[in-house]
Amino acid sequence: MHWTLSPAVRWIALLLLCAAYLQGGLNKALDFNAAIAEMNHFGLSPAGPLAVAVIVLELGAAALILTGFWRWLGALALGGFTLMATFVALRFWEMPLGQERFMAANSFFEHLGLVGGFLLVAWLDLKERHDD
């Protein structure tokens, strides 16, 4: 059986998938000092250029996904970024047992789910382009 989503439902689903990156990129752009502090918190250097790169990546890749222009590339970019950021920011296995470790572990695996979602978006977009 073959079925398709309405374009509006599909776009809303993609918007929801990108929501954290739109929010994060806008917050970093509007409070660049906080973005630099975040890079420093995770030991990333040089903090300023990396903060700019993250802002451009989060907003630019989300825009690619939402507009459909090279959607697969935007999805792979956010998927790769999310995977790397997850291993930098959510190292639950290094934390002592307790609530903080539990929350970090949950967030770690939720982020892996986002990576899977972005891989599906890239795969489906490439398949759609191939089939046309």
Phi-psi region of 43 (alpha: psi -120 to 50; beta: other; left: phi over 0): left
Amino acid at site 92 = F
Q: What pLDDT band is residue 3 in, cutting at 50, 70 and 90?
A: low
Furthest C-alpha separation in the chain: 52
Give 5-9 contacts, CB < 8 A, sequence gap 24+. Answer: none
pLDDT tens column, 9-35: 999 999 999 999 999 999 999 999 999
pLDDT at 118 over 90: yes
- The pLDDT of residue 123 is 97
Burial of residue 1 (CB within 10 Å: 0-12, 13-18, 19+) is exposed
Share of the chain above pLDDT 90, in %: 92
For position 2, what pLDDT does the model report?
A: 57
User: Residue 127: pLDDT band by 50, 70, 90 thresholds?
Assistant: very high
